[in-house]
């Protein structure tokens, strides 16, 4: 039997990526939805053949505990709502996938981990790039020092936001600007390529180009992670420009992914030529990610992208903000020590 997945929040990512990916998965499938909008429920019911008994709203969501068709609850809501729904899903006895960033506070992350632990259920974060062949190659080459020790990393991720006010720039719902949304991929990318956690961070906000629109959150932020061996990662993220790059410079060569964090069309170059052994066609990162989690549940294995990694990253995001707000170097030595070792 394929494990049943219920998507909570039927916005852009659920409708554009996760639901289509769940048509390709081998070990799990879309069996339920949780939405506050009855019209969306009707549309999804028809499109994905979802029975009425597997359709919930945010109020009656807790009764999902009695539904054997749902094994995994996947929380795809604005960042500040992740904590509540992960905890409610755990209390309902379901395994949980939570979108990135895990939450808007470290305390929320800890409570979410605790809730899943107490319920004896698995928790993973929607870090799809840990299942992408290009990013996996960067991990392997970087972590195994195939080009020698990694001396420098560059991470850049952003997109040009129009002149609207989505929840992404409302602090209460997002917890912050592009750092929470896009910069988190750079945090992840430089760490899984280096295979180590940084020991400190410095950061700076560039001047805002649209201060009225970005009056609650940053429009852009630049930061540098320092590693124990003296190597550094220079990163930037913004809602100003379309960019997505991950670069590694090692003693005997370099590697660069661009676009590095997209759903498809990724490209990889190295100082020795194109990244070898990449698939001829795009893979569905989300299908691989969800099947891996289903496999972890079915075979009782730990996930490579656990709640603790989500907590680690929220700790690092907070340290970056602290460094930018204070203008001081901030130690990151106390973040949870979890790494995806290939
Ligand atoms: P979206 O704005 O398209 O959808 C958000 C959904 O939440 C909407 O359906 C909306 O109706 C619902 N919602 C419920 N309560 C709400 C409230 N109080 N305010 C606003 N909306 C509310 O957003 P999205 O792009 O689908 O992002 C959802 C989550 O998924 C975010 O945490 C985001 O970071 C994450 N995400 C991850 C990826 C990835 O590649 N892993 C990509 C996109 C988004």
pLDDT in tens, 265-305: 999 999 999 999 999 999 999 999 999 999 999 999 999 99
Pairing status of strand 220-226 against strand 232-238: antiparallel
CATH superfamily of the domain spanning 3-126: NAD(P)-binding Rossmann-like Domain (3.40.50.720)
pLDDT in tens, 110-125: 999 999 999 999 999 9
Task: Please determine, for the modelled complex, whether the ipTM score is greater than 0.95.
Answer: yes
Give distance in angstroms: CA of 61 to centre of ligand 1.
17
Task: Kindly list the protein residues whose Cβ atom lies closer than 6 A to any atom of ligand 1.
Answer: 9-14, 36, 76-79, 81, 99-100, 126, 128, 167, 173, 181
CATH of 129-283+307-331, one of 3.30.70.370, 3.40.30.10, 3.30.360.10, 3.10.180.10: 3.30.360.10
Q: What pTM was computed for the model? A: 0.98
Q: Nearest-CA neighbor of 324 among 239, 224, 196, 212?
A: 224
- Ligand 1: centre distance to CA 272 (Å): 40
> What is the percent of the chain where pLDDT is above 90?
99
Mean pLDDT of the chain: 98
Is there a cis peptide before residue 261, judged by omega within 30 degrees of 0? Answer: no
For the chain, what percent of residues have pLDDT higher than 70? 100
State pLDDT tens for residues 118-163.
Answer: 999 999 999 999 999 999 999 999 999 999 999 999 999 999 999 9
CATH 3.40.50.720 in the chain, residue ranges: 3-126
Is 100 assigned a catalytic role? Answer: yes
Name the segment(s) of the chain with CATH classification 3.30.360.10: 129-283+307-331
Kindly report the backbone phi and psi dihedral angles of residue 86, in degrees, each rounded to the nearest multiple of 5, phi listed first.
-65, -45
> 100, 121, 194, 318: which one is catalytic?
100
Task: Give the pLDDT confidence of 229-261 residue by residue, as tens digits.
Answer: 999 999 999 999 999 999 999 999 999 999 999
Which has the closest alpha carbon to 263: 246, 244, 248, 250?
244
């Amino acid at each position: 039997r394929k494990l049943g997945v219920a998507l909570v929040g039927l916005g852009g990512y659920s409708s554009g990526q996760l639901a289509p990916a769940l048509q390709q998965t081998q070990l799990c499938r879309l069996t339920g939805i949780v939405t506050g909008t009855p019209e969306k429920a009707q549309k999804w019911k028809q499109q994905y053949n979802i029975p009425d008994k597997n359709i919930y709203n945010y109020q009656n969501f807790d009764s999902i505990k009695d539904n054997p068709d749902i094994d995994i609850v996947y929380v795809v809501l604005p960042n500040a709502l992740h904590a509540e729904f992960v905890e409610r899903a755990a209390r309902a006895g379901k395994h949980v996938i939570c979108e990135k960033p895990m939450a808007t506070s470290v305390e929320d992350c800890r409570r979410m981990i605790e809730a899943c632990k107490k319920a004896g259920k698995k928790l993973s974060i929607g870090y799809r790039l840990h299942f992408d062949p290009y990013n996996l190659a960067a991990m392997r080459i970087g972590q195994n020092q195939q080009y020698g020790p990694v001396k420098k990393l560059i991470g850049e991720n952003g997109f040009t936001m129009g002149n609207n006010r989505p929840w992404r720039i409302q602090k209460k719902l997002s917890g912050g600007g592009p750092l929470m949304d896009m910069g988190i991929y750079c945090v992840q990318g430089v760490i899984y390529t280096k295979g180590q956690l940084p020991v400190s961070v410095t950061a700076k906000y560039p001047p805002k180009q649209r201060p009225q629109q970005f009056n609650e959150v940053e429009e852009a932020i630049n930061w540098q992670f320092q590693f124990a061996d003296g190597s550094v990662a220079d990163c930037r993220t913004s809602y100003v420009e379309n960019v997505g790059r991950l670069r590694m410079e090692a003693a005997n060569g370099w590697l660069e992914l661009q676009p590095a964090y997209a759903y498809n069309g990724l490209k990889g170059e190295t100082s020795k030529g194109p990244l070898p052994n990449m698939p001829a066609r795009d893979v569905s990162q989300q299908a691989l990610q969800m099947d891996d989690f289903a496999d972890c549940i079915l075979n009782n294995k730990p996930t490579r992208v656990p709640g603790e990694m989500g907590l680690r990253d929220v700790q690092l995001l907070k340290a970056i903000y602290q460094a930018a707000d204070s203008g001081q170097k901030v130690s990151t030595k106390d973040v949870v020590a979890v790494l995806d070792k290939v």
